[in-house]
Amino acid sequence: MQNFDKILLAVDFSDSSMNACEYALALATKFGSKLIIVHVINEPVDLRGFYVPHISFDRLEQEIEEGARKMMDKFVANSLGGFANFETLILSGIPYEEILKKSEEEHADLIVLGTHGRTGIDHLLFGSTAERVVRTAKCPVLTVRMS
């Protein structure tokens, strides 16, 4: 069987992704894997240099990144217990694209994510990020539904 040396966990800080984290953590502990925890800031591409002058947009971007970093630090402090073999990444772009790109760059053996996220619509089987990752990923994907 394939080793799970690297597990990429995608988090949007929703309850669903926190729930997925418990599974990623259990697997990483069992298989001695490194956890790569990724959050993607949804890049507002159309905003850049169009509605907002560059200087204030740059500042806004910086503040968004700092906010995301703080949320990630809080997430890690609350969710990982004593688990130390992890790395966190804050990326910008379209979430499913960045998750897939990073999973390939890192040669991740598994991607773990919630079936739904902050924007998830409950009656759908998968949210749009989850669906696109499942359909396109080159490695196995574990999607976790909140019970």
List of E strands, the chain: 6-10, 34-42, 86-93, 110-114, 141-144
Site for ligand AMP in 20-39 (CB under 6 A): 20, 38-39
Residue 116 engages ligand AMP in binding (rule: CB under 6 A): yes
Contacts with 121 (C-beta within 8 Å, 6 or more apart), sequence order: 127
Of the ranges 47-55, 56-64, 81-89, 127-135, which one interacts with ligand AMP (CB under 6 A)? 127-135
Contacts with 80 (C-beta within 8 Å, 6 or more apart), sequence order: 21, 25, 35, 86
Residue found under tokens 């772009």: 93
Q: Which is nearer to ligand AMP, 78 or 119 (CB)?
A: 119
Q: What is the rounded distance in angstroms from the CA atom of residue 35 to the CA atom of residue 111?
A: 10
* 4, 7, 16, 110: which one binds ligand AMP (CB under 6 A): 16
Strand, coil or helix: 37: strand
* 7, 8, 129, 137: which one binds ligand AMP (CB under 6 A): 129
Q: Which is nearer to ligand AMP, 11 or 110 (CB)?
A: 11
Can you give the binding site for ligand AMP, defined by CB under 6 A?
Answer: 10-12, 14, 16-17, 20, 38-40, 42, 95, 113-114, 116-117, 119-120, 127-130
